[in-house]
């Protein structure tokens, strides 16, 4: 079960790794910024079981799925207010769910939905986002083999909520 734990951690640490790279990536990679939309959440189905991909050694559970004319779409809900454009970590988490749905159903979702407290973004599961997801996963796997990995952020709140806080030599806020 260790690998399951380790791989589910991939999703948790997307945020930290991604934040450090977000500015450059926004400028260079053409990642989708997302479109502000309205959608009726009455059609959203809560997800009971996590999705698992043996190919990508990935596991994760979106908050909801919704059937659209273009296929099944994942919904990730954030309790925070919407940023001007979705954070890269949130995009990658949504992309991971798209990849898991693709692996499970054989159909690639055209997009995912990111629901913030005050806004809903529709984010294309574009080739650029898929490539960034796969590269990020490869980096994370490499980092797991390294003896030590440098902190990738300056957010004491993130460290305070981290399960490694007591043991981490780079923890902020102590
Ligand atoms: S405590 Fe360490 S591992 Fe956890 S978020 Fe902070 S720097 Fe990263």
Q: What is the pTM of this model?
A: 0.74
Atom of ligand 1 nearest to the CA of 168: 2
CA distances, 93 to each of 24, 28, 97, 167 (Å): 19, 20, 7, 26
Residue 156 near residue 168 (C-beta atoms within 8 A):
no
Distance in Å, CA 164 to ligand 1 centroid: 6
**What is the pLDDT, as a whole number, of residue 150?**
85
Name the more confident of 114 and 143: 114
Structural domain boundaries in the chain: 2-143
**What is the pLDDT, as a whole number, of residue 26?**
53
Residue nearest to atom 5 of ligand 1 (CA): 159
């Amino acid at each position: 079960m260790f690998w399951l734990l380790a791989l589910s951690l991939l999703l948790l640490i997307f945020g930290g790794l991604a934040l450090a790279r977000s500015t450059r990536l926004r400028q260079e990679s053409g990642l989708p910024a997302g479109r502000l939309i309205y959608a009726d959440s009455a059609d959203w189905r809560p997800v009971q079981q996590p999705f698992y991909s043996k190919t990508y050694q990935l596991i994760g559970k979106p908050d909801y799925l919704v059937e659209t004319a273009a296929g099944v779409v994942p919904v990730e809900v954030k309790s925070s207010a919407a940023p001007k454009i979705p954070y890269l970590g949130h995009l990658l988490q949504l992309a991971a769910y798209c990849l898991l749905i693709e692996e499970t159903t054989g159909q690639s979702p055209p997009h995912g939905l990111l629901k913030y407290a005050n806004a809903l973004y529709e984010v294309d599961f574009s080739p650029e986002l898929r490539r960034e997801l796969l590269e990020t996963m490869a980096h994370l796997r490499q980092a797991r083999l390294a003896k030590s990995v440098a902190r990738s952020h300056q957010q004491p709140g993130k460290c305070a909520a981290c399960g490694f806080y007591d043991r981490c030599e780079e923890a902020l806020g102590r």
